[in-house]
Each structure stands twice: as structure tokens, then as C-alpha cells.
Amino acid sequence: MRAKKSNRGSEIITTPIIIAIGIMLVSTLIVFSVNILTPYIFYEKLSSACIKYVFIMEDYGYLTSKEQTNLQVDLISQGFDINKLKIECTNKRQKYGSPIYLKATYLYELDLPIIGKSIIPMVISRESVSKI
């Protein structure tokens, strides 16, 4: 009887190659997923900051220049680029029950490895009434 021929040599070569390709694919998918989720996280941060400052506006009847500066500082500390940020708001004190608004626009630059760069405009608009 003949002895079976063993292909152990090819397994030694192909197994590390398959593992390396698998690790590269999984790493690419993870990076791609994080890049896709980041704009959503920035949108939620911007929305939360706007809600916080609308509550402050309700107390003052408008957004004071000091509070507008604090809003910008808060957003910068959260990773926003001030050059891509635009804030519109009620600038003058409003009487009780008068409408007030805060609108923040941010241009998020999404850079995906295969697709390339694209700009995602994020617009948050909050309205309320003065409570002073």
C-alpha cells in the first residue's frame, strides 16, 4: 500500500495569508464604520449644546454676547472647528412670551478612504419663548 501524500506545506503558507487578509478587511470595516458614525455624534453634540443655550436664552430673553462666546467655547472644546460654525440667534431682549430662536449651522467634512471627501451640512434650529 501506498502512503498518503500530505499537503501540510501549503497549509503553513496559506493560513497566515488568509488571517492577514481577514485582519485587513475587519480593520477597514471598523475604520469605515467609525467614519460614518462620527457625523451623527457631532450632530448630537451640536443639538445638545443648542438645547442647553435655548434654556439660557429663555431666562435672559435673548442670547447675550457672553453666552454666545460661551457657546462657541463649548463647541470648540467638543471638537468643532470655529471656521465652519455659524450661529444665528435672537440678539435683543424679548418680553415675556415673545418668540426666541437659536440656529447653529456646521459644515462637517467627511473623509472616507475609498469614496473621498464630502461636506455634510448640519443645521440645528431651536425655538422657544422668553420667560422674563
> What mean pLDDT value characterizes the chain?
91
Contact 100, 129 (CB under 8 A): yes
Confidence check: pLDDT of 2 > 80: no
Mean pLDDT of 38-45: 96
pLDDT at 126: 96
- Contact 75/86 with Cβ under 8 angstroms? no
Looking at per-residue pLDDT, the higher value among 69 and 13 belongs to 69
pLDDT of residue 93: 95
Name which residue leads in pLDDT, 34 or 5.
Answer: 34
CA distance 76 to 74: 6
Give residue 34's pLDDT band: very low, low, confident or very high (50, 70, 90): confident
Give the span between the Cα atoms of 96 and 132, in whole angstroms. Answer: 5
Return d(Cα 128, Cα 53) in angstroms, integer: 11
